[in-house]
Amino acid sequence: MDEDPYADFANQDTQPLPNFTPGPYNALDPATGNLLRKSLNLGSYNYLGFADDWNQTCKEDVVGALGKWGVSNGGCRVEYGTTDMHRELERLVADFLGKEDSLVLNMGFNTNATTIPALVSRGDLIVSDTLNHTSIVNGARASGAAIRTFKHNNAADLEDVLREAIVLGQPRTHRPWRKIIVMVEGIYSMEGEYCNLRMVRDVCKKYKVYLYLDEAHSIGAMGATGRGCCEYAGVDTADVDVLMGTFTKSFGGMGGYIAADAKTIAYLRTKCAGSVFHNSLSPIVCQQILTSFRVIMGLDGTDVGARKLRALRDNSNYMRMRLTDMGLHVLGNYDSPIMPVMLYNPTKIAAFSRECFKRGLAVVVVGFPAVPILMSRARLCISAGHTREDLDDALVKIEEVADICKIRYGWSSFG
Amino acid sequence: MIIWAFFGKTLQKKQGKFDSKLSDREKKALIAEWTPVSLTPSLSASEERTVSSGKVLTGYTGRTMTTSDGIEAINCGNFDFLGMSIRGEVKEASREALEIYGCGSCGPRGFYGTIMPHVTLEERFAEFMGQGQQSIMYSDGASTSSSTVAAFAKRGDLLVVDEGCFEGLLTGALLSRSNVRHFKHNDMDDLRRVLEEIRGEDRKLRRDVLEQRRFIVAEGIYRNYGTNALGSVGGVTVGDEEVTDHQRLSGAGYVFSASACPFVSEAAVAGLGIMEREGKSMMKTLSNNLKKMLKEVDGVKGLTRTSDDRSPVIFLVLKKEREYEEEKDVLKAIEEACMEDGLAVVATGDHIGKHLLYKRVRAGIRITVNVVMTEKDVKEAGRVLKEKVRMFV
């Protein structure tokens, strides 16, 4: 009887991988300490590789913080949940981004989902990119404001939408909108593309509308010094009214921030549900973010941060170039660490994932409903922690899988 | 038929899309004229004070908290009921987990963000809650409730929600796009009234009860009237397998958001361990402390307690009702004066009473009881509160 080659992997899509750590390899079975299975991690948002060299860069500070603080102090930001570490982090974020002040919350998703309802309400209009993340969509829906969308990353369409909105005013009554806010992301996580920020900024300025930029994936990963999409696109952060980002990705922590002028932040402190109701960020995680920020900014006196940024960019561009050469359809732009590889056919999703996993590559595959059904894709996330050997090894394996799955669409329409 | 066509046509005309036959010049003028309001309205003087006088902690022992002004205050302010977060075992478990897994998880649960401690916590919590149950964890307590409600209720469903529910549940109800009815907080007669109304409508519309999925949404302890007992951050929902598996695909906070830091889950597992071992004695201490505190609090002239005798979250309002604005300013002043005298309580005025979703919540003083406070602390809390209330009421 033939052995089912996929027997080991049959449940892989639904079963969690308990032995997985966010470093470049998943390593130990925590129960026995044995090496279970080693895979190259091409799935985590570990852009700057703080999960890899955590022991050298962050461990001392973070474990040290446990001496003084508990894991949580059981309060929200306005009710005794603010420690001096939260304030220090907020000042650091504000300085890093060139804004007056910032607000740090416990969860990236909730940063969008609770801030947007505090900023806008009935009588306001949100103009949102069609491919914005669920957290923005949730926040926008909960706010009660009207919502329009514009074509993904298309500044000309944004302009059309804005013109019509301003001319026609609110539906039925045609009263003018109280305010209009445009929502875009720095890097779109399913596309690997970065925002056309200069053009969007110009349009926003022309029509006097506010601009909200979600840098969940781009902060720390884009720009010469990691200051995100604004730095990369050469846009002054003063032109972006609200900057939002998360600490989950590049900083190896958790939570999110909002950076804006002092008046807006003061308002959000008293009004945004994330600050008023939800638990504050754990002081231990605060320390993790503070430490990784210092490394990125070079305040630790080393060039580790600068090297990480350079490595991330080099690795991303190398990988993107090689994958494209291989005849794969790779979405997104150079310099972006996210590279979706198109599979198109939904039946190839499981095959690609399992063949990769069999060869020791952990990749994320994305199908409906996250993307349209015929736009199924695999997504590779590159990290500064990957070495050139890791990537070369991965490329050989991906090439094998590409042949098996027939996805070299760059060479032939039949793959 | 002809009549129908005629009316149909005129109706169509009436409802037709607004056609702005505006010239380009007129459009230009309209665009040039339009000026938006500022991004955020200005804060009132008292809100300004809330922000600027915001207390920043420089130390925390569970029993007390130290502020940046150098005041060490008795902790009646946060929800660390069991004093878990400062327990040695919890810290030790966190430290060990940090050494194995590092800090962040670097991805959502479905994208390789599931790490052993998450699985352990879910299993342990399910065990803790009883047989046949499974649990699912979210990285933030609030998104637990908002995602859960929205994962189950959909457009066309009916939710009957307690007005006093926590913001997360109300947001979830809003996001689910279900029809939402509210009943007065904890008022079973009002709930009955709402349910009977619905039944009346059913009869009127000849709608079968089974045609629409219906949920009642309520809370264990009402935060704004009176759970983070494990000394960690995050939230868990419990249900049978079908219920949890559904959320793994449909709970927005679960699918689209990065998972909790592994060490946080490990801390919660340690917290659960402590609860299993010492739960009974802890609950006894808590209820003893609560009794003592209630004795003190009920002796305060000028305030009335609205919370239940069994709730470790004590909620006090002014005995003589005043204008909302005045009430909240008085209570805020009491809170600040208490803090200066070494007692941390929360005045739920500006930040909660006026929040978007709350319309009719009265401002009050919230005192939480925990297991680590001593008899002396309770006495001192009572003394300070009495004195300050006398000053301002």
pLDDT given at position B321: 87
Do B219 and B170 contact (CB within 8 A), yes or no? Answer: no
Do A113 and A135 contact (CB within 8 A), yes or no? Answer: yes
Tokens 């991805």 belong to which residue? Answer: B107
Mean pLDDT along residues B339-359: 72
Instruction: Give the closest residue to A347 by CA, choosing from A280, A274, A406, A269.
Output: A406
Measured in angstroms, the CA of B270 and the nearest CA of chain A are apart by 12
pLDDT given at position A321: 96
CA atoms within 13 A on the CB side of A28: 9
Tell me the CA distances in angstroms from A281 to A216, A286, A307, B148, B234, one per residue in order: 17, 7, 29, 22, 10
Tell me the CA distances in angstroms from B152 to A176, B171, B247, B347, B385, one per residue in order: 37, 14, 8, 34, 44
pLDDT given at position A18: 39
Contacts of B168 in chain A (CB under 8 A): 273, 277-278
Measured in angstroms, the CA of B57 and the nearest CA of chain A are apart by 4
The Cβ of residue A3 has, within 10 Å, a number of other Cβ atoms equal to 6
Q: What is the pLDDT of residues B263-275, one digit of tens each?
A: 888 888 888 888 8
Same fold for the domain at A1-53+303-415 and the one at A71-297? no
Q: What is the pLDDT of residues B70-92, one digit of tens each?
A: 999 999 988 888 888 788 888 89
Helix (H) or strand (E) holding B181: strand B179-183
Q: Does B224 touch chain A (CB under 8 A)?
A: no
Measured in angstroms, the CA of B365 and the nearest CA of chain A are apart by 12
- Residues of chain B with pLDDT > 90, as a percent, come to 22
Contacts of B232 in chain A (CB under 8 A): 71-72
Answer yes or no: is pLDDT of B4 > 60.
Answer: no
Q: Where along chain A do its domains lie?
A: 1-53+303-415, 71-297
Q: Does B23 touch chain A (CB under 8 A)?
A: no
Answer yes or no: is pLDDT of B100 > 80.
Answer: yes
DSSP reduced 3-state for B59 = strand
Contacts of A167 in chain B (CB under 8 A): 20, 22, 27, 30-31
Cα–Cα distance for residue pair A286/B310, rounded to 1 Å: 35
The conformation of residue A69, written as its DSSP 8-state character, comes to S
pLDDT given at position B254: 66
pLDDT given at position B360: 58
Residues A22, B104: C-beta atoms closer than 8 Å: yes
DSSP reduced 3-state for B114 = coil
- Residues of chain A with pLDDT > 70, as a percent, come to 91
- Residues of chain A with pLDDT > 90, as a percent, come to 65
Which amino acid appears at position B122 of this protein? Answer: E
Higher-confidence position of A387 and A358:
A387
Contacts of A106 in chain B (CB under 8 A): 139-140, 233
Tell me the CA distances in angstroms from A261 to A86, A242, A267, A366, B43, one per residue in order: 18, 8, 10, 37, 14
- pLDDT band with cut points at 50, 70 and 90 for residue B238: low
pLDDT given at position B240: 61
Backbone angles phi, psi at A118, to 5 degrees: -80, -30
Cα–Cα distance for residue pair A4/B127, rounded to 1 Å: 35
Mean pLDDT along residues B194-213: 79
The Cβ of residue A156 has, within 10 Å, a number of other Cβ atoms equal to 11
* Token pair of A325 as six digits: 């050469």
Hey, which CATH number is domain A71-297, 3.90.600.10, 3.30.413.10, 3.40.50.720, 3.40.640.10?
3.40.640.10
- pLDDT band with cut points at 50, 70 and 90 for residue A20: very low
Per DSSP bridges, beta strands A40-41 and B214-217 are: unpaired
Answer yes or no: is pLDDT of A158 > 90.
Answer: yes
Ranking B215-219, B223-227, B246-250 by mean pLDDT, the lowest is: B223-227
Residues B233, A63: C-beta atoms closer than 8 Å: no
DSSP reduced 3-state for B252 = helix
Residues B34, A177: C-beta atoms closer than 8 Å: yes
Instruction: Give every CB contact of residue B326 below 8 A, 6+ residues apart in sequence.
Output: none
Hey, which CATH number is domain A1-53+303-415, 1.10.3260.10, 3.40.225.10, 3.90.1150.10, 3.30.420.40?
3.90.1150.10
Higher-confidence position of B14 and B94:
B94
Residues A71, B174: C-beta atoms closer than 8 Å: no
ipTM field: 0.81
- pLDDT band with cut points at 50, 70 and 90 for residue B116: confident
Higher-confidence position of B188 and A95:
A95
Instruction: Give the closest residue to B269 by CA, choosing from B89, B36, B61, B110.
Output: B89
Q: What is the pLDDT of residues B360-387, one digit of tens each?
A: 567 889 999 999 999 999 999 999 999 9
Do A226 and A220 contact (CB within 8 A), yes or no? Answer: yes
Instruction: Give every CB contact of residue A250 below 8 A, 6+ residues apart in sequence.
Output: A45, A47, A48, A50, A219, A220, A221, A226, A292, A296
pLDDT given at position B233: 52
Higher-confidence position of B238 and A341:
A341
Higher-confidence position of B106 and A13:
B106
pLDDT given at position A14: 32
Backbone angles phi, psi at A41, to 5 degrees: -85, 105
The partner residue sitting opposite B39, judged by closest CB among A58, A134, A179, is A179
Contact residues, B window 232-251, toward A, CB-based 8 Å cutoff = 232-233
Mean pLDDT along residues B286-301: 92
Answer yes or no: is pLDDT of B19 > 80.
Answer: no
Residues A210, B39: C-beta atoms closer than 8 Å: yes
Contacts of B155 in chain A (CB under 8 A): none
pLDDT given at position B237: 61
- pLDDT band with cut points at 50, 70 and 90 for residue A407: very high
